[in-house]
């Protein structure tokens, strides 16, 4: 089922999400729904708070449905290690039309559970490293506009207010 994407400034996007404790059919349905909602919104990453579910769960598919092996569900993910720094443009389904350059670690090691509750670790670099950091930030209630300079953030917030006034947000 496709869920609508929650946009800034909804409070669910700005507080830490709760750990997932039940690895049951309801969780597997939620993961399926998240992939479906992400594809429907033309995204490559989606965190549960973005569909209004305050749980520590995120899905990523950089291939955008082209390669099933690239479908990644990270449950209760944590960054174990990070290395290097890269500044690249980023966007977010909860902040449509806002794009800014964000500094992220170049490589990260992620530890997470799969839908069955099994822990696994994954080395990520390039876009996958960026996506993991962006999505784990969502689970901590942090949007990428809070990872940029105050000046650029003010500019982005002004643009959002303008879109809101125009009824386009």
Stretch that binds Ni ion, among 74-82, 91-99, 105-113, 159-167 (CB under 5 A): 91-99
Region binding Ni ion by CB under 5 A among candidate stretches 34-42, 86-94, 107-115, 154-162:
86-94
Element (H or E) spanning 130, and its range? helix 126-139
List the structure tokens of 127: 């876009």
CB 13, CB 50: distance < 8 Å: yes
When the beta carbons of 14 and 23 are compared against Ni ion, the nearer one is 14
Spatial distance between the Cα atoms of 55 and 23, rounded to a whole number of angstroms: 12
Indicate the residue among 8 and 23 with the shorter CB distance to Ni ion.
Answer: 8
Q: State the nearest-atom distance from the C-beta of 64 to Ni ion, in Å.
A: 15
Nearer to Ni ion, 20 or 59 (CB): 59
Q: Of 38, 92, 108, 110, which lies in the binding site for Ni ion, with binding defined by CB under 5 A? A: 92
CB 8 within 8 A of CB 95: yes
- In the residue annotation, 135 being an active-site residue is answered as yes
Q: Which is nearer to Ni ion, 59 or 92 (CB)?
A: 92
Residue 17 and residue 139 in contact, taking contact as beta carbons nearer than 8 Å: yes
Cβ contacts of 118 within 8 Å, gap of 6 or more: none
Quick one: which segment of 78-86, 90-98, 101-109, 112-120 binds Ni ion (CB under 5 A)? 90-98
Closest CA to 133 of 166, 109, 157: 109
Residues annotated catalytic, as ranges = 135
Interface contacts to Ni ion, rule CB under 5 A: 92
């Amino acid at each position: 089922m496709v869920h609508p994407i929650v946009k800034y400034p909804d409070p669910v996007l700005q507080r830490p999400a709760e750990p997932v404790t039940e690895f049951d059919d309801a969780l597997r349905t939620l993961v399926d729904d998240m992939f479906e909602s992400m594809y429907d919104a033309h995204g490559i990453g989606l965190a549960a708070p973005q569909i209004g579910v305050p749980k520590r769960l995120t899905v990523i598919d950089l291939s955008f449905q082209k390669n099933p092996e690239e479908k990644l569900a990270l449950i209760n993910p944590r960054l174990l290690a990070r290395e290097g720094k890269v500044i690249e443009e980023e966007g977010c389904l909860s902040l449509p039309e806002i794009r800014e350059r964000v500094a992220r670690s170049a490589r990260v090691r992620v530890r997470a559970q799969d839908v069955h509750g099994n822990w696994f670790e994954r080395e990520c670099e390039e876009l996958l490293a960026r996506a993991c950091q962006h999505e784990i930030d969502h689970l901590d209630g942090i949007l990428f506009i809070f990872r940029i300079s105050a000046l650029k953030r003010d500019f982005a917030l002004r643009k959002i207010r303008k879109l809101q006034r125009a009824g386009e947000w």
